[in-house]
Amino acid sequence: MPIEIEADEIEDENIVEGVAETRISKSEPISTENIYDYTVLKIKALINLMKVDKKLKLEEQGYIQTLIENSEIGDETKIELANLMDSQGKISVDFTIFAKEPDEATGMLFDLIALAKRDGEFHLAEKIYIKQAGKLMGISENDIEGTMAIG
């Protein structure tokens, strides 16, 4: 995110000269429009991960339920997500959307790993799912492996 400098703060032009992406403008509000999309996608991906090892554990279900309840999303969406936990099959998640936002992709990777290890077992199916998701999010295989080792 570029640093914003109020017009009246600039007394010496040399201070801002050569600073990459410095804008002289009035402060603009930060858009929160996409936060909702990432939250819902993240929860859907976590639901998929929970189901991938074919062993639904209470620790994993409780973690996801807590995320749903504490998310800043509408009540209808919360109900839909809670119902998806009980549904069969995978939920469609476009991980490439996370590639545009490295912070969101990193957060997603850590959340996936945290959920996978929550029940004390890190299953092969969970590792494969996380590696595939990480690649689609634009994260290198080395970074994925390293994060899984420490995460």
pLDDT tens per residue, range 108-128: 999 999 999 988 889 899 999
Give the whole-number percent of the chain exceeding pLDDT 70: 75
User: CA-CA distance, 150 to 143, in Å (whole number)?
Assistant: 11
Instruction: Quick: pLDDT tens for 14-53.
Output: 333 433 333 333 444 444 455 558 999 999 999 999 998 7
- DSSP, res 30: P
DSSP bridge partners of 4: 23
Count the neighbouring beta carbons within 10 Å of the beta carbon of residue 27. 8
Which of 49, 129, 137, 40 minimizes the C-alpha distance to 96? 137
Q: Is the pLDDT of residue 10 over 90?
A: no
Ordered by start, the domain boundaries in the chain are 1-30, 33-150
Question: Which residues, other chains included, contact 50 with Cβ-Cβ below 8 Å and sequence gap of 6+?
Answer: 56, 57, 60, 61, 64, 85, 115
**Alpha helices by DSSP H, the chain:** 13-16, 33-52, 58-70, 75-86, 102-118, 124-136, 141-150
**Residue carrying the six token digits 């492996």:** 145
Cα torsion 92, 96, 101, 105: sign: positive
Average pLDDT over residues 65-77: 93
Query: Do 130 and 112 form a contact (C-beta atoms < 8 A)?
Result: yes
CATH 1.10.3680 describes domain 33-150:
yes
User: For residue 69, what are the CA distances in angstroms to 17, 26, 34, 43, 138?
Assistant: 47, 36, 19, 11, 29
pLDDT band at 102 (very low <50, low <70, confident <90, very high): very high
From CA 113, how far away is CA 150, in angstroms rounded?
Answer: 10
